[in-house]
Amino acid sequence: MDLDALRFANFATLDTAVSDWNQLVRHLAELKKQAEDGLHKAANSADWAGMNATVTKEFIGKTAGEFGDAHTQATTIHNILSDTRDELRQFKKDLEAAITRGQAKNLTVVSTDKGGFTVTMNIHPDRAAKGTTVPEHTESDVTALRDEVQGILNRATESDTSASTVLSAIADQSKMGFSDASYKDRDSAADAVQAADDLARIAAKDPKDLTPAEFDKINDGLAKYKDDPLFAERFATRLKPEQTLEFWAGVTDPAVNPELVYERQDKLDDLQRNLGLTLATATQSDSADMSTWKGDMVRLGEQPIGRNGAGPMGFQVMSNLMRTGDYDDQFLKSYGTALMETERKLTGNGEHANMAWQKMGMDPLLNRIGEDSGSDPLTGYLKGLSNSPDAATDFFNEEYVSKEDSPFERDTDGNGKNGKVPLSNFQYLFEERDWPQESNFHGDEVNTGRNNLALALEAAATGHPAGELPTADTPAHNDGQAKLFESIVASVADDNERLTGHSYMSDSIGQITSEYLPDINRALTDDADKDTDRLFPVAGSSATLDHRNVNALLLTVGQNPEGYAAVEVANKAYMGNLMDYHLNPDLPADARYSNDTQFTIEQIAHGSGEVSGTLAIGRQEAVAGPADESDKKFDQSVGQWKNAISGGIGTGIGVGTSFIASPVAGAVAGGAAGTVSSMVLEALFQDAEGHAKDDAGPVMGELWESGNDQNSDYTEAAVEKAAKTHHRNDLLDDGIDEKARRAAQDGFRAAGTNTAQMSPHLKTDI
């Protein structure tokens, strides 16, 4: 900052800019509210169909989000400009005050060439007017004034430069659209940038020279700033991809820095989480430097990292950092494509095991979160996909090997002759891959890879991160998700040991199944002309399923307590929603399944009964078959769902429909209590809790009988409550609740008949 630039600064233009940005922030706040309350909420509540249910609805959601980001960015820019303007104005006042104090001692500050300045006497005593007394000063007064002025200019320079740096960085965050980086003032933004530079400089050191104190500084800094977009992008791009990989590979390897690993081994899990979260945040940036970073990181996947060219592959290192955070979808897609290309090279297109990714004795533990070693990069990558549904969907539907290059053969036309078949990434990973075997310190087998596969499938097929329940904002299923679910159903039906042999995957497959109940119910009707599509409406794309395959899936999922609970709870909620929906007298004529309301209700009850009945047979299999599960575990799992969906039964179940149950008898809409579904579920939870405490619980025959009775009771109660809600006393007078109960019993019993005929090979002979 030049002396004259600050001394004679005119802040009128900056004042105008601050005022303009303040006005823009107010306008954007109004637009943000309109976009969210009007545009987005209206889109979520609309009854979309076809492409509108997927592309248009998603576009509207993203557009509404852009208004929010625009408001955030404008607010940040206004805060930084205002803060900098106020600081510079104060620095100008400080400079003027310093110069005035100097004049009192006959000192003046004069600018020189190239922006410098000098302190000199204002009036030389020899040239003073006769009778004029010139103030005296000492050499220390000259030095003090010089230092004070220089300090003011330095601080002004720092304020101006840092403001320019952070404003440029914020603008560079997104080539299109707006950044969501938010700062209350210039100092906080500047601190984030400076911290990123400082930590990147430390992390770039040779890992063998890193001290425990430096480790702590990096870990603490990442923990503080991991969610800060400006910091994350700056840290990642300053550190560079290769140095990032060398850093993590080095700090986890006792052969590189034994003292550090010994003294900080209990903090390596925190560092892994914080570094992963920071890099995930960084990948959301569209800056040119970050685009280069992403491309370079993918290219480093096959390269050895550290140990003089003999270290782990880049994929093995980076995938472990993907276990935490929401990485950019396009980066995950590019990374996954390259990862599977390397898998093909190392396995002969999947024909043999991948020994390059099997942990050997002296290999470092690249993963410090959980029990697996991290040697298999697919384990970490799949965990990353579980947080990024769109990328997961594309990944699993992508072709792994073509028919021409495939080593896999199957009988595809039923003539008894096998032929080569192409496989998708889903088919290869779920059906064919020889997963590296690992064990923990207790000698127990570690199945993290397949478990993460299930989590990634959950995100890919449902459209929301694994472990979460869908909400009203969760988009309807698209073509890719429906296609993947079709593949899951067909695969489990083809060989249910793919799931029963790895029962820990069943909770995720059960959650997936619960969100495709409309599609499943359509398949159970065996309706060739698709009239029953109106009986079970679907928002978005529908999966085309075979009745026999659906029977096998429900029978298989029902053998696991968590899988059983996910589908059974959702089935009861869905049944309540449907009853409410079809009994609504305001339902448009073109949305009605039949003008015969009784017939409609009976068909709903029958479908719901068959789903519950098939699950009950699966539950019997678990109790009587090789799984030998305690029957109480099933009721306990059902009971656990009570807390999981508390406060959002209307939307939290999320079964892919275009409607939400209406409140019963004037209850408040949108809450957990008061809907037809909530009342059915409350009865279900109470029954489950009671059975879970019964040490002499029923097995096999008694279980089937009690299940049939309870299912019909729930259905009868749902119809009765829905009819009362819509004031359909005429239907109640005709005994529609009793007819629904009978239809539910018929559906429940039909499950037994259909299973015996469709899936006899999956039943245990007693």
Task: Give me the half-sphere count of Cα atoms (radius 13 Å) on the Cβ side of residue 297.
Answer: 30
Please tell me the distance from the alpha carbon of residue 601 to that of residue 598, in angstroms, as a whole number. 5
* Per-residue pLDDT at 73: 63
Task: Write the DSSP assignment of 2-25 as a string of letters.
Answer: -HHHHHT---HHHHHHHHHHHHHH
Say if residues 372 and 438 touch (Cβ distance below 8 Å): yes
CA 18, 21, 26 angle in degrees (round to 5)? 130
* Per-residue pLDDT at 653: 38
pLDDT of residue 1 exceeding 70: yes
| pLDDT top residue among 180 and 539 | 539
Question: Of all residues in the chain, what percent carry a pLDDT higher than 90?
Answer: 40
* Per-residue pLDDT at 21: 64
Mean pLDDT of 156-166: 77
User: CB neighbours of 122 closer than 8 A, spacing ≥ 6?
Assistant: 102, 103, 106, 107, 108
| pLDDT top residue among 651 and 225 | 225
> What 3-state DSSP class applies to 110?
strand
Query: Within 10 Å of residue 347's Cβ, how many Cβ atoms?
Result: 21
* Per-residue pLDDT at 269: 97
Say if residues 197 and 230 touch (Cβ distance below 8 Å): no
Conformational region of residue 401, where left means phi above 0, alpha means psi within -120 to 50, and beta covers everything else: beta
Q: Which residue has the tokens 């995957």?
A: 505
> What 3-state DSSP class applies to 417?
coil
pLDDT in tens, 663-707: 333 333 333 445 677 767 777 777 776 665 554 344 445 555 666
Q: Is 765 exposed, middle or buried (0-12, 13-18, 19+ CB in 10 A)?
A: exposed
Say if residues 181 and 173 touch (Cβ distance below 8 Å): yes
Can you point out the beta strands (E) in 615-674?
none
pLDDT confidence band for 131 (50 / 70 / 90): low
User: CB neighbours of 241 closer than 8 A, spacing ≥ 6?
Assistant: 293, 296, 297, 300
Closest CA to 461 of 512, 400, 420: 512
* Per-residue pLDDT at 396: 98
pLDDT of residue 227 exceeding 60: yes
* Per-residue pLDDT at 54: 46
What separation in angstroms does the CA of 416 have from each of 405, 412, 423, 570? 22, 9, 20, 40
pLDDT confidence band for 548 (50 / 70 / 90): very high
- Of 91-100, 154-163, 217-226, the poorest mean pLDDT is in 154-163
Mean pLDDT of 235-245: 97
* Per-residue pLDDT at 126: 55
| pLDDT top residue among 722 and 517 | 517
Query: Within 10 Å of residue 359's Cβ, how many Cβ atoms?
Result: 18
Structure tokens at 333: 């897609």
Structure tokens at 214: 């430096």
**Of 166-175, 309-318, 656-665, which has the strongest mean pLDDT?**
309-318
pLDDT of residue 486 exceeding 90: yes
Q: Which residue has the tokens 């019964």?
A: 694
* Per-residue pLDDT at 654: 37
* Per-residue pLDDT at 589: 85
Task: Write the DSSP assignment of 700-754 as a string of letters.
Answer: THHHHHHHHHHHHHHHHHHHHHHHHHTT-HHHHHTTHHHHHHHHHHHHHHHHHHH
Per-domain residue ranges of the chain:
3-172, 186-401, 469-762
User: CB neighbours of 636 closer than 8 A, spacing ≥ 6?
Assistant: 561, 688, 692
Please tell me the distance from the alpha carbon of residue 341 to that of residue 522, in angstroms, as a whole number. 38
**Of 645-654, 668-677, 704-713, which has the strongest mean pLDDT?**
704-713
pLDDT confidence band for 732 (50 / 70 / 90): confident
Mean pLDDT of 218-242: 95
Mean pLDDT of 216-221: 98
pLDDT in tens, 2-40: 887 888 877 777 778 777 767 766 766 666 666 565 555
Positive or negative: CA dihedral 531, 534, 539, 543: negative
User: CB neighbours of 202 closer than 8 A, spacing ≥ 6?
Assistant: 210, 214, 217, 218
Query: Within 10 Å of residue 321's Cβ, how many Cβ atoms?
Result: 25
Mean pLDDT of 356-377: 92
Please tell me the distance from the alpha carbon of residue 722 to that of residue 732, in angstroms, as a whole number. 10
Please tell me the distance from the alpha carbon of residue 625 to that of residue 267, in angstroms, as a whole number. 44
* Per-residue pLDDT at 562: 92
User: CB neighbours of 160 closer than 8 A, spacing ≥ 6?
Assistant: 1, 84, 88
Q: Which residues sit opposite 438 in a β-bridge?
A: 446
Mean pLDDT of 497-513: 94
CA 119, 122, 128 angle in degrees (round to 5)? 150
| pLDDT top residue among 182 and 157 | 157
Query: Within 10 Å of residue 14's Cβ, how many Cβ atoms?
Result: 17
Please tell me the distance from the alpha carbon of residue 290 to that of residue 673, in angstroms, as a whole number. 47
Please state the length of the chain: 766
| pLDDT top residue among 665 and 314 | 314
Say if residues 283 and 328 touch (Cβ distance below 8 Å): yes
CA 675, 676, 679 angle in degrees (round to 5)? 85
Q: Phi/psi of residue 439, each to 5°?
A: -135, 155
Average pLDDT across the chain, whole number: 82
Closest CA to 428 of 340, 502, 506: 340
pTM here is: 0.79
pLDDT of residue 646 exceeding 60: no
Mean pLDDT of 351-355: 93
> What 3-state DSSP class applies to 424?
strand
Query: Within 10 Å of residue 395's Cβ, how many Cβ atoms?
Result: 27
Mean pLDDT of 132-155: 82
Structure tokens at 259: 């003292």
- C-alpha Rg value of the chain to the nearest Å: 33
Closest CA to 744 of 766, 722, 763, 719: 719
* Per-residue pLDDT at 641: 73
pLDDT of residue 660 exceeding 50: no
Q: Is 10 exposed, middle or buried (0-12, 13-18, 19+ CB in 10 A)?
A: exposed
Please tell me the distance from the alpha carbon of residue 248 to that of residue 239, in angstroms, as a whole number. 12
Please tell me the distance from the alpha carbon of residue 459 to that of residue 469, in angstroms, as a whole number. 11
| pLDDT top residue among 705 and 278 | 278
Mean pLDDT of 249-266: 95
Say if residues 677 and 573 touch (Cβ distance below 8 Å): yes
Please tell me the distance from the alpha carbon of residue 375 to that of residue 508, in angstroms, as a whole number. 24
Structure tokens at 370: 């959980």
Mean pLDDT of 583-602: 87
Provide the H-helix boundaries in 412-478.
425-427, 448-462
Please tell me the distance from the alpha carbon of residue 169 to that of residue 161, in angstroms, as a whole number. 12
Query: Within 10 Å of residue 733's Cβ, how many Cβ atoms?
Result: 9
Please tell me the distance from the alpha carbon of residue 274 to that of residue 170, in angstroms, as a whole number. 22
- Of 69-73, 236-240, 474-478, 523-527, the poorest mean pLDDT is in 69-73
Say if residues 286 and 324 touch (Cβ distance below 8 Å): no
Can you point out the beta strands (E) in 458-614?
none
